[in-house]
């Protein structure tokens, strides 16, 4: 039986472990922290429950396929509820937009912003449907083993159909004139840590999957995905070791031979799958003569980071917040993205997102309390400049309180009885994310498909990668596809006996 070591028990590592263990490989997973999930974890304190990673359950068919491939039914593990309206968008002028699957209600809302915009949205979603299905079939859901597979004649039509060379904001502006609608239908790029002014128009598929397939939420919380997949992997014989960080990957000639743990123990393997952040693996876990890999990783583009606040509140659960809430500084929309992605700092008037799951699962806070997760996008770590994260965190906190006061929530600060925070240095130190970039490597046009770091090392033929910074990219459903692509490649190149 071929022995597989997986470095990291993030979503990609767990799903890969389950798939390979089911295929008959002897799988062992080493995880740095004390539990599976990586960034997808929880905080459970004083009767409050928070998801610390993803909070939107998108693309349900991808999850269903993962469970089906493992011989399971998703419905046996996840009790899902559809969130509708998907979220409420708050604009700077005080207006709001509830994005809902109720077409009559949505029509009335959109037409108040811009006459003819509902019809424009229908055309926009139709385009998104085409990009969604074509991307999954021909781009995201497959391996590219050679450059010519990616730049083949068969793929040339995708340049026009998926619009990878057109910017998302440019594409959205073809359909809508009102700057609030342009902002309210393009900020979703931040799910991937991207600016709509840089992201390919391909990602207009995000609005399609939100509004057509829906945004869902497991009643047990998003961490139920982690616990269920871990249990499935263990049922196939995969072993998980926690509080066991890997210090380096051992190599000989063109093969990876095993790993050495921080404890000093060396364990041999036939195959290694690194689910740790790919730039970290190249820079810290592998030999790097002349720092060639480190320099190459530093030259790539990275996603944004975030300032995170987890607040347990005492008192009334306000109906002024829905399950998902977005507060946009749409009057300085482009400037704020420049501050994040070009200046690597916190915008002067940051947009932010609030997850308030108690509206769906009342048990996530005491009866007389509320639980809010606040995500404020900011620039990633930049060694070329001084970054005062403590100061930026304090400024973001104050700004959130001010925006909430504008909608009638004036006493949030006084009601906080529990608080936990994360900053970009935490992403680097806790989860080994290069530059503290919360979503890994960026998805600009030169870092997608075959041009993105591949899921197998070019020199060490038995070293594979799963996760956000390799092909096909970031986001839980896409990382689940990453696990499938790694499984496909290993079965093709390193078949189980």
The pLDDT tens digits of the residues spanning 203-253 come to 888 888 998 899 999 999 999 999 999 999 999 999 999 999 999 999 999
Beta-strand runs (E) in 72-170: 80-82, 87-90, 96-99
pLDDT of residue 491: 96
pLDDT of residue 160: 65
Q: How many CB atoms lie within 10 A of CB 391?
A: 10
pLDDT of residue 38: 95
pLDDT of residue 156: 72
Mean pLDDT score across all residues of the chain? 94
The values of phi and psi at residue 34, to 5°, are: -95, 10
Q: Please name which of 271, 197, 293 lies closest in space to residue 456, comparing C-alpha atoms.
A: 271
Whether the upstream peptide bond of residue 348 has omega within 30° of 0, thus cis, is no
- Chain segment 50-94, per-residue pLDDT in tens: 999 999 999 999 999 999 999 999 999 999 999 999 999 999 999
**Confidence check: pLDDT of 166 > 70:** yes
pLDDT of residue 82: 97
Q: Decide: 340 and 438 in contact? Cβ < 8 Å.
A: no
Mean pLDDT of all residues in 132-159: 80
**Confidence check: pLDDT of 408 > 90:** yes
Q: Residue 291 is encoded by which pair of tokens?
A: 């720092």
Q: Please name which of 214, 184, 205 lies closest in space to residue 101, comparing C-alpha atoms.
A: 214
**Confidence check: pLDDT of 3 > 90:** yes
Mark out the alpha helices in 177-321 (DSSP H runs).
179-184, 205-208, 223-235, 278-280, 292-299
Element of type H or E holding 30: strand 26-30
Q: Decide: 166 and 159 in contact? Cβ < 8 Å.
A: no
- Chain segment 112-127, per-residue pLDDT in tens: 999 999 999 999 999 8
Residue 437 pLDDT grade (very low, low, confident, very high; cuts 50, 70, 90)? very high
pLDDT of residue 142: 86
pLDDT of residue 290: 67
**Confidence check: pLDDT of 146 > 90:** no
- Select the more confidently predicted residue: 403 or 158: 403
Angle (nearest 5°) at CA 56 between 127 and 468: 80
Q: Residue 495 is encoded by which pair of tokens?
A: 């078949």
Q: Residue 160 is encoded by which pair of tokens?
A: 């026009």
């Amino acid at each position: 039986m071929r022995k597989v070591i997986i470095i990291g028990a993030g979503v990609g590592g767990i799903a890969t472990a389950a798939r390979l263990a089911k295929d008959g490989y002897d799988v062992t997973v080493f995880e740095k922290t004390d539990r599976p999930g990586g960034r997808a974890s929880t905080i459970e304190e004083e009767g409050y429950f928070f998801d610390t990673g993803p909070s939107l359950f998108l693309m349900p068919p991808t999850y269903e396929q993962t469970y089906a491939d493992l011989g399971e039914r998703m419905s046996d593990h996840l009790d899902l509820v559809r969130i509708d309206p998907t979220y409420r968008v708050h604009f700077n002028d005080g207006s709001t937009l509830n994005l809902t699957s109720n077409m009559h209600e949505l029509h009335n809302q959109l037409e108040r912003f811009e006459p003819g915009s509902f019809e424009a949205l229908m055309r926009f979603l139709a385009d998104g449907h085409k990009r969604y299905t074509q991307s999954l079939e021909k781009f995201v859901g497959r391996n590219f083993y050679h450059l010519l597979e990616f730049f083949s004649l068969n793929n040339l039509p995708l340049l026009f159909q998926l619009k990878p060379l057109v910017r998302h904001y440019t594409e959205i502006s073809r359909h809508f004139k009102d700057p609030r609608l342009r902002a309210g239908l393009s900020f979703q790029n931040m799910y991937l840590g991207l600016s709509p002014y840089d992201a390919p128009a391909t990602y207009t598929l995000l609005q399609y999957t939100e509004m057509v397939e829906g945004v869902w939420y497991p009643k047990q919380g998003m961490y139920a995905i982690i616990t269920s997949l871990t249990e499935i992997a263990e049922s196939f014989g995969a072993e998980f070791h926690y509080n066991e960080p890997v210090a380096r990957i051992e190599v000989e000639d063109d093969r990876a031979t095993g790993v050495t743990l921080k404890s000093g123990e060396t364990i041999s393997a036939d195959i290694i799958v690194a689910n740790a952040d790919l730039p970290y693996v190249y820079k810290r876990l592998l030999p790097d003569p002349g720092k060639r890999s480190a320099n190459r990783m530093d030259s790539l583009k990275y996603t944004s980071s975030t300032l995170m606040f987890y607040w347990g509140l005492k008192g009334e659960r306000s109906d002024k917040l829905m399950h998902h809430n977005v507060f946009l500084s749409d009057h300085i929309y482009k400037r704020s993205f420049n501050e994040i992605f070009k200046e690597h700092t916190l915008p002067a008037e940051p947009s932010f997102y609030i997850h308030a799951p108690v509206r769906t699962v009342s048990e996530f806070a005491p009866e007389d309390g509320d639980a809010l997760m606040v995500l404020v996008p900011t620039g990633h770590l930049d060694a070329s400049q001084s970054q005062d994260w403590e100061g930026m965190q304090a400024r973001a906190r104050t700004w959130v309180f001010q925006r909430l006061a504008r909608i009638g929530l004036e006493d949030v600060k006084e009601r906080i009885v529990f608080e936990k925070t994360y900053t970009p240095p935490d992403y680097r130190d806790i989860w080994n994310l290069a530059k503290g970039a919360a979503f890994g490597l960026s998805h600009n046009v030169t870092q997608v498909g075959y041009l993105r770091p591949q899921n197998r090392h070019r020199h060490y033929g038995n070293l594979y990668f799963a996760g956000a910074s390799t092909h096909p990219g970031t986001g839980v459903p896409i990382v689940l596809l990453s696990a499938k692509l790694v499984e496909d490649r290993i079965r093709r190149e390193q078949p189980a006996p």
